[in-house]
Amino acid sequence: MTSDSDQTIRERWVASPSPAGGGTTRAGDPASSVDEVDLTPVRTYWELVRMRFRRHRPAVISVFVLAILVIYAVIVPLTTGEGYKDPNIRKVWDPAEIVITFDPFTVEAFAPLGYDEIGQNVFVRLAKATQTSLVIGVAAVLIIAGIGSFIGAIAGFLGGRVDNLLMRLVDIVLSLPVLFIILMIVSFFGTGDVSVVIIAIGITGWTLAARLIRGEFLTLRETDFVMAARALGVHSRRIITRHMLPSALSPLIVASALGVADSVVAEAGLSFLGFGISPPEASLGNMLNNAQTYFIRAPILIVWPGLVLILIVLSVSFIGDGLRDALDPRQKIESGS
């Protein structure tokens, strides 16, 4: 997947070596024609990042998909408030309905996805569930990336005994059955609490990030530019944060993208088992769990939360992929001139 997309990017560049980019210096520009052979147009870093990201078609599409989901997950709960919890005995199992009234966003008026077994508006409930899942995914990944890069960076930079110790810690965490640990934490500290779920997922999921960052740091530590920075009297802390972490950004982004996807899935699994977010609160997991009960009566109820789950996981992964390629300044955008 990764090398494939790299390959296509390069091929595209060879095919169309002059991308349309604003604010570039063209060859023959009087300023650069004096005694220089190099007519590389000077673009800023972020211009380059944007250009490289745009080359990654699935990532661009994913941005739109995710944007729509985010807007949906923000706007709908905002306008309906607690409406996602409201049962309506008269609407049970009602199919899709869109009643255009003067106030189109009232719960009764707008239900393109119909109503569930207790008359809750599925469209509104799904929005809230998407919101919950996204919040959990992003918050958990912040914990994952934070712990992961901290432990990975220290292990990789210091090496030796510290490295050994920290990596054995990673092994220990990895060897634990993650789902049971999360279940234990959640059932101990309170089922249904979003922050408990976030922390439980976060503190069990950082191992991959730590390993990737550590591996990258081990390589980076030996590079000449880190040695040069040391020879020029740069502080170790600064070398780690300013010289090594940015170079280790690619694995961190990959780990984070996977982390978001994993966290969303973990939450869904947890709620599906009844340990995560429980009704009347909405999450993709408990919607799926609920839909499973009424699978024969209304199979479509499984489709909506399932679809959103798949869309989140896929688009986050693609965006991570595209970002990793785009943020890497070493990746050349020009076809060798």
Task: List contacts with other proteins (CB under 8 A).
Answer: 32, 34-36, 38, 40, 42, 44-45, 159-160, 223-225, 227-235, 238, 242-243, 246-247, 249, 329-330, 332
- φ, ψ (nearest 5 deg) of residue 110: -125, 100
CB nearer to other proteins: give 229 or 270: 229
Task: For the CB of residue 330, give the shortest distance to other proteins in the complex, in Å.
Answer: 5
Q: Would you say 43 or 55 has its CB closer to other proteins?
A: 43
Which CB sits closer to other proteins, 38 or 103? 38
Phi, psi for 98 (deg, rounded to 5):
-130, 105
Q: How many CA atoms lie within 13 A of 140 on its CB side?
A: 32
Nearer to other proteins, 125 or 214 (CB): 214
Contacts 24+ apart (CB under 8 A), 4-7: 5/56, 5/58, 5/321, 5/322, 5/325, 6/325
In the structure, how many helices (H) and strands (E) does the chain have?
13, 2
Question: Inter-axis angle of helices 300-327 and 2-15, to 10 degrees?
Answer: 60
Least distance between other proteins and beta carbon 261 (Å): 26
Residue closer to other proteins (CB basis): 233 or 296: 233
Q: Cβ of residue 150: shortest distance to other proteins, in angstroms?
A: 20
CB of 142 vs other proteins, minimal distance in Å: 22
- Give the integer Cα–Cα distance in Å for 213 and 87: 48
Query: Closest separation between CB of residue 226 and other proteins, Å?
Result: 8
Query: Which residues make beta-bridge pairs with 121?
Result: 115
